[in-house]
Structure 1
Amino acid sequence: MTRLTRLALTSALCLTFGLPAAAQDAAGATSPAPEAGASADPSTVVATVGGTDITLGHMIAMRSRLPEQYNQIPQDQLFQGVLDQLIQQEALSQQAESASQRVELVVENERRALMANEVLASAVQASITDEALQQAYDATYADAEPTPEYNASHILVETEEEARQLKTQLEEGADFAQLAQEHSTGPSGPSGGELGWFGPGMMVPEFEEAVADLEAGEVSEPVQTQFGWHLVKLNEQREQTPPSLEEASSTLAQQIQMDAVQQTVDQAISGAEVERQDVSGIDPSVLNDTTLLD
């Protein structure tokens, strides 16, 4: 369902649920929600409008498309709201002499999108298996070695001279965090220069090399990067081991699903007879001209 369609549906249902009882009665009599144990046959007719049947299946389909906030509505009220909405939609649609070209094209697009999403949903659901997760885990982490992670702080200034003056103050006993708050031009300055934990590749090479050469508690000589001159303090170092299968399963599942979607799309395109026409003569801005559908 497109965003605009979903918003329209949500707005309409909000109107239905917000109507006072007298207004709902005026719109037409409604049937009570089925009691527990009642038939759950989706072909069950729940209302007829101008000779057109509305079934329990229509209601279930509409309910399945509603946003999560509708879960907060009592079941009997939600049942009546969905039924009222379908009755109103059918009554309104029967007022139209015929569907406009725009409506017909929107319906075609909606049907196409729904069918495509069904295919993708099936592919995604089938892709997540214990075997697939294990294979993805082995491919990603089987040969992974523990990697170093660093917790560091820094003071960033514009010139080497400033950095060396601050280095001297630190050697004389000045507090690193306080100097960072007073002098660092980086965004971490107000927090004492703390950068938190980071691993290989997360910092520019010059900075990373300087950190790797330090012992915990040690402060580097001035280090120049594209951002300026740094004094780097290594607070702590640890080894980051690969996650367990359970810890990585969520991330791996997302990647498996993305791969399944891409593979399904590629297979569908390669198996279809696609003939692209020459559209070079069409002005792309024509997509904004909805008057062509009037």
Structure 2
Amino acid sequence: MKKVIVFTCILLFTGICLSQTIEEKTIVKIGKQGFTVREFKENIDKMRTNFANLTPEMKKRILDQFVKEKLFTVAAIDEKTKLTDEQTKQLENLKQMYLISNYINKILQENPVTETEMKKTYDANPGKYQSPEKRKLRHIIVSDQEKAKQLLEQLKNGADFAQLASQNNIDATKQRGGDLNWAQKGIFVKEFEDVAFSLKKGEISDIVKTQFGYHIIKVEDIMPPQQRSYQEVAQEIKRELEKQRISQIEENLRKKYKVEVDYTILDKI
């Protein structure tokens, strides 16, 4: 039994050593500079590609691209090519962004938002985590106000709304009888939305003028706000609480480093 264990350990150790040997093997040499398998694999990892599953031809293309990049890099360094001031600034800005991101992530990992906090927030704000009210709308839209008045009169006399929309609409809804499907606030222009969301179920509006033309709106159905489950909003709550954490971190840092800002200078810039 001991012999089996020892033999297994030897095999594992040998495999690790072989892997390390391959990792350090030079796969590309440009002049006196060599590039290892490890460097090539790091380049592949950036591509988020499963290299082992690629065809030999695709593997060769990727290696050739690696050679091309390194060749130009070596040449650029050899010719003492420098970045422009603007490029240097961009790199510094990128470095700063990564630095800030890593710092914030470190703080959040040390003091993570807990499931208990998330559920407590959810339970304390039942009205906050709801899907918005939705309305099933239909409209008639024409470019002429007088025509809109005539159509409104026909509707008051019992004409079929969808049929009039199919016959007269100047937009794509003509093909479906003016059907705008289910919609929530924030989709339509203000003039249209204000009227559409003030009507009761089954009501038809007066003429509404927008930049698109003259509308007559009908509310066919109303779906009231629905409570979203904790599972649906858990990640949303987590982001909210993390944002609060970050705000608290900023407040503490301002006190720690005694931040002073002269906003009056803004007028002179």
Partner of 1:62: 43
Contact residue 196 and residue 218 of structure 2 kept, 8 A: no
Code of the residue aligned with 1:152 in structure 2: it is L
1:120 and 2:96 are equivalent in the alignment: no
Shift of 1:236: 1.0
User: For residues 219 and 118 of structure 1, do their structure 2 counterparts lie closer, same or farther at Cα, with a shift above 3 Å needed?
Assistant: same
Code of the residue aligned with 1:99 in structure 2: it is K
Partner of 2:222: 237
1:213 and 2:192 are equivalent in the alignment: no
Q: What is the aligned length?
A: 233
Contact residue 51 and residue 59 of structure 2 kept, 8 A: no
Contact residue 127 and residue 256 of structure 1 kept, 8 A: no
Contact residue 145 and residue 242 of structure 1 kept, 8 A: yes
Aligned equivalents of 1:229, 1:39: Cα separation in 2: 73
Aligned equivalents of 1:213, 1:89: Cα separation in 2: 64
Question: Map of 1:38-187 to 2, 5 A cutoff?
Answer: 38-40=18-20, 44-47=24-27, 48-66=29-47, 68=48, 70-71=49-50, 74-75=53-54, 77=56, 82-87=62-67, 89-91=69-71, 93-95=73-75, 97-102=78-83, 113=94, 116-117=97-98, 120=101, 123=104, 127=108, 131=114, 134=118, 138=122, 142-144=126-128, 147-158=132-143, 161-187=146-172
SS at match of 1:54: strand
Aligned equivalents of 2:167, 2:219: Cα separation in 1: 20
Contact residue 26 and residue 37 of structure 2 kept, 8 A: yes
TM-score, length basis structure 1: 0.54
Shift of 1:197: 1.8
User: For residues 63 and 185 of structure 1, do their structure 2 counterparts lie closer, same or farther at Cα, with a shift above 3 Å needed?
Assistant: same
Contact residue 24 and residue 38 of structure 2 kept, 8 A: yes
Contact residue 122 and residue 230 of structure 2 kept, 8 A: no
Question: Which deviates more, 49-58 or 148-157?
Answer: 49-58
Code of the residue aligned with 1:57 in structure 2: it is R
SS at match of 1:232: strand
SS at match of 1:212: coil
Shift of 1:177: 1.5
Partner of 2:7: none
Partner of 1:248: 233
Aligned equivalents of 2:21, 2:241: Cα separation in 1: 36
Aligned equivalents of 1:41, 1:136: Cα separation in 2: 54
Q: Which runs of 5+ in 2 are unaligned?
A: 1-14, 258-269
Shift of 1:239: 1.3
TM-score, length basis structure 2: 0.58
Aligned equivalents of 1:211, 1:177: Cα separation in 2: 20
Aligned equivalents of 1:200, 1:74: Cα separation in 2: 48
SS at match of 1:188: helix
Partner of 2:206: 222
Partner of 2:263: none
Aligned Cα RMSD in Å? 5.0
Code of the residue aligned with 2:200 in structure 1: it is L
What percentage of aligned pairs have identical amino acids? 16
SS at match of 2:167: helix
Higher percent of residues as helix: 2
SS at match of 2:114: helix
Contact residue 191 and residue 208 of structure 2 kept, 8 A: no
Partner of 1:281: none
Aligned equivalents of 2:25, 2:230: Cα separation in 1: 49
